[in-house]
A and B are shown apart, each in its own frame.
Chain A
Amino acid sequence: MSTEQKPDSLAELRRRQPAFRGLDPGHLACQGCGQALAARLVTEATGPDVVIANATGCLEVFTTAWPRTAWRVPWVHSVFANASAVASGIEAALKAQGRETKVVAMGGDGGTFDIGLQALSAMLERNHNVLYVCFDNEGYMNTGAQRSSSTPHAAMTTTSPPGRERMGKRHLKKDLLSIIAAHHIPYAATASVAYPSDLRKKVRRGLAIEGAAFVLVHSPCPLGWGHAGELSIEVARMAVQTGIFPLVELERGSLVAAMLLREVHPVADYLKLQGRFRHLFADHPRAREELEHLQALANHNLEVYRLRGEGSDARDSEGADTVRRGGLRWG
């Protein structure tokens, strides 16, 4: 117990932080926002020598309350549809100038799964040396939680309310990763805010590879998903450990790695944390059926991505977030 931190030294302490962080506080994200955390973790992996093209969405809105910005790296806002196109142009321009500054495109699931899909596909097809990061909070949360094509089956949103006809969203979550895989790009991966080291590793890998890369980051939304802000990591962790959101890596469209699950939780452990799945726990045959349906979807992931681990491994779902005295685990 030696030095006491003086109140006025906080700014100084912030300058002396041992790692680069591209997103300052004072942004207007909700309490416990998964996306705010995810975006900051991405910038920690990119470092300061990067240009970010950001599609419309929560991230754009809460980081740049005009005329202030939370970004500490060059950042360009585009419309909903064209973050990939803007990033492609930036990459081409930097290339023409002979500069090696990295280019990252960012979008939410609305700007990626739905509105920006065409531009994304085109960028991947042209194989621009750009990393596209999609923060997947499974809905249009900025405008008050409407369903997107990424919203999981049976989840409640304002446009997929449970009622007499439906138990939440009728359709399935779009399998975007398979669409990305079909472009045969050098690298694609899924990551989660619950596993920061794994997330940063995948961002670094995506940037290191020449050509287009894609990382899908599962980012809980406390307001849209209906859970307390303090549970964002818990919810994200459960999504991984139930198999609902598998953490995988693809190269040229083929599965090369998956974070194995040492202990597979029943999907209810994930669902019951969230208000958007509350109706599935009603004492009703249709609720039970949908619960079984979601369990079957998780089981399907366990099979397709071969997620079930045997024994223990430092990189599996339990080993990857083990804490060490002195913070040694965080890569």
Chain B
Amino acid sequence: MLTLTRGAYATAGSSLELNTGNWRLKRPVHLHREAPCHSACPAGEDAQAWLAEFAREDPRAAWETLVAANPLPAITGRVCHHPCESACNRGQFDEPIAIHSVERFLGDRAIAEGWPYPVTKPDAGALEVAVVGGGPAGLSCAYHLVRRGLRVRLFEAQVAAGGMLRMALPTYRLPRAVLDREVEHLLEVGITFVANHRLGRDLSLDELHSDFPATFLAPGTGLARSWSVNGAASQDLRSGLGLLMEWLSIGLLPAFRRVAIIGGGNTAIDLARVLRAAGVQVHVITFQALPGPGVPAQEAMSGTRREIEQALEEGVIVHSHRGVRRLIVRGEQVVGVEMVHMKELARADGRREAVAFEGTETILEVEQVIPAIGQLIDPQGMQALLGNAEFFQADSWGRIAGHPGIFVGGDATGRCGTVSAAVGDGRRAAQAICAFVRGVAMAEVETSQSIGFNQLNRSYFEHAPRAEAAILPAASRNAEIEVESGLSPAQAFDETHRCFSCGECMACDNCWTLCPDNSVLKTQDHCVDGAHYVFDYDHCKGCGLCAHECPVGFIAMIDEP
């Protein structure tokens, strides 16, 4: 008790006794916001989180965080079109973080060091779920089911797992050693792998239904979409997918000199590059645009931009905004195609449609036309589920209305067509399957808005060049050697320090240093809210300076309760 005497004498007290916290109208709170890389990742990776762990010199923890969402980083680090980098806030400052390169580095390191997946083997008595299809969706689903304590039997029609990664992805993009080692490593988490079992030949839906409490179907799209010009096609028509798969399995290509490939997706570009490496003059004909600055994503070719750029470097000729009007046939042989300028335009009803422009026809002399215009499910054994549809009609959890216990994902849903989306499908389906077999309700999904560039305080960041992996010069490329090499350990580590850490505390000390009321205290440990600091609400006056100066937008001012 403080005594004020008449002589105005008192023992000096500390201002700490004064509760200036009651001045406050708004209080600062730590608020994690989702980084744009996280929101954009089809596989659900939180790149911000694993980059932070790597930045703390713990690559193994970084890999473990990464594989909590995506078990195939060495693969996706090579083949993903990395929408995370397109979304990266740093892209509006200088250049986005080279997330795919760091992901690949961590994946390769995990394989080289033999880091086990952070998964405990399910009990022998745990329920067993069937997964059909050993592609990225099936592998991801199997892995996430094991993570959740279920046993998995994975049926694959081919000898080895990998799906389209193995059958249709050229080795210059994904060396088979990388694929084999990562898939083998993944299967070791306790997945029972059954090779050479094809649905409709060695298995039936009825058998699966009676033997397993739930089944995940990820059959992929192994059939090329048929193609003709007004019903006409050459006798010896070969699909792009078929040629690519043949080349990958037996290493032989037909002896072409000049070919036209129809389509603007990755199959078209992959085949174009493989043929180009064999010395063929390759024309790619697509009604889409070449990707580039100012070209909206929905108008650009659907192939990965990096692959298209490398194809052009290698001498592949792309005819964009062009369609095939007519095949020119002499006897049984195709000798050319008539092309016409085309563009996809919005109709009055809002639907987009490719429109051909009269008077722009040109002739291209080629000896073969190869369509690569998309793929379909091979419906064998699944007619009951598919009906007349081309793809499975499933919700985002992979559930098909009217078929409880059956879940689908990957290319067969017709939604995605990328490896990372397939991985994401597998992860979500595993969550839904778990809830289904255990008879519990699905947890609500929190949708959060990712943090924008303007919510960061950029005064505290400096420009720094992005880590670029070495690219093989076009002249020394062939269809076998990997075109893009990996980052050095120093490059990968330095790249993590370019990360803005959007929406998550990076322990920069700004709030602690700049609080005029000395009301931010530093902790040695992580707090429950993910921060490295604690607010002293007894004294904080709520000026909001910490929130304004937080470089990563991790502090929000909320009304006093």
- Chain A residues engaging chain B, CB cutoff 8 angstroms: 1-5, 10-11, 13-14, 17-18, 21, 23-29, 31-34, 36-37, 40-41, 63, 65-70, 193, 196, 222, 228-234, 237, 312, 318-319, 321-327, 329-330
The residue in chain A whose Cβ has the minimal distance to the Cβ of B505 is A325
Question: A67 contacts B517, CB within 8 Å?
Answer: no
Question: B516 contacts A230, CB within 8 Å?
Answer: no
A-side contacts of B463, CB under 8 Å: 312
Let me know if B14 is at the binding interface, CB within 8 A: yes
* A325-B55, A327-B508 known; A67 vs B10 contact (CB < 8 Å): yes
- Closest Cβ of chain B: how far from A228's Cβ, in Å? 7
Docked complex Cα distance between A29 and B515 (Å): 12
Question: B536 contacts A323, CB within 8 Å?
Answer: no
Docked complex Cα distance between A18 and B523 (Å): 9
- Chain B residues engaging chain A, CB cutoff 8 angstroms: 2, 4, 8, 10-20, 23, 52, 55-56, 459-463, 497, 501, 506-510, 512-519, 521-523, 525-528, 530, 534, 536, 538-545, 547-549, 551, 557
* A14-B521, A230-B544, A325-B508 known; A31 vs B23 contact (CB < 8 Å): yes
Query: What are some 24 contacts across the A-B interface (CB < 8 A)?
Result: A5-B527, A10-B534, A13-B523, A17-B522, A25-B15, A25-B517, A26-B18, A27-B517, A28-B18, A32-B543, A33-B516, A40-B516, A66-B8, A66-B10, A193-B514, A222-B543, A229-B545, A323-B508, A323-B509, A324-B497, A326-B56, A326-B506, A327-B507, A327-B512
Docked complex Cα distance between A25 and B528 (Å): 24
Question: A63 contacts B15, CB within 8 Å?
Answer: yes
Interface centre among B20, B509, B515, B551 (most CB of A within 10 A): B509
Question: A319 contacts B462, CB within 8 Å?
Answer: yes
The residue in chain B whose Cβ has the minimal distance to the Cβ of A40 is B518
- Apart from A31-B541, A67-B12, A323-B510, what 8 extra A-B contacts exist at CB < 8 Å? A3-B527, A23-B518, A31-B23, A31-B544, A32-B516, A234-B549, A323-B509, A330-B509
Interface centre among A23, A232, A325, A326 (most CB of B within 10 A): A325
Docked complex Cα distance between A229 and B525 (Å): 30
Question: B460 contacts A233, CB within 8 Å?
Answer: no
Question: B513 contacts A229, CB within 8 Å?
Answer: no
Question: B15 contacts A2, CB within 8 Å?
Answer: no
A-side contacts of B512, CB under 8 Å: 327
Question: B11 contacts A325, CB within 8 Å?
Answer: no
B16, B56, B551, B557: the one contacting A25 at CB < 8 Å is: B16
- Closest Cβ of chain A: how far from B531's Cβ, in Å? 10
* A31-B541, A34-B516, A232-B516 known; A68 vs B460 contact (CB < 8 Å): no
Question: A32 contacts B510, CB within 8 Å?
Answer: no
Docked complex Cα distance between A196 and B539 (Å): 22
* A37-B515, A312-B462 known; A325 vs B497 contact (CB < 8 Å): yes
A-side contacts of B19, CB under 8 Å: 26
Interface centre among B463, B506, B507, B541 (most CB of A within 10 A): B541
Question: B536 contacts A325, CB within 8 Å?
Answer: no
- Closest Cβ of chain A: how far from B16's Cβ, in Å? 5
Docked complex Cα distance between A2 and B549 (Å): 26
B18, B461, B515, B528: the one contacting A322 at CB < 8 Å is: B461
- Closest Cβ of chain B: how far from A225's Cβ, in Å? 14
B13, B538, B543: the one contacting A31 at CB < 8 Å is: B543
B459, B517, B526, B536: the one contacting A1 at CB < 8 Å is: B526
A-side contacts of B514, CB under 8 Å: 37, 193, 196, 233
B-side contacts of A322, CB under 8 Å: 460-462
Question: B544 contacts A65, CB within 8 Å?
Answer: no
Question: B516 contacts A37, CB within 8 Å?
Answer: yes
The residue in chain A whose Cβ has the minimal distance to the Cβ of B8 is A66
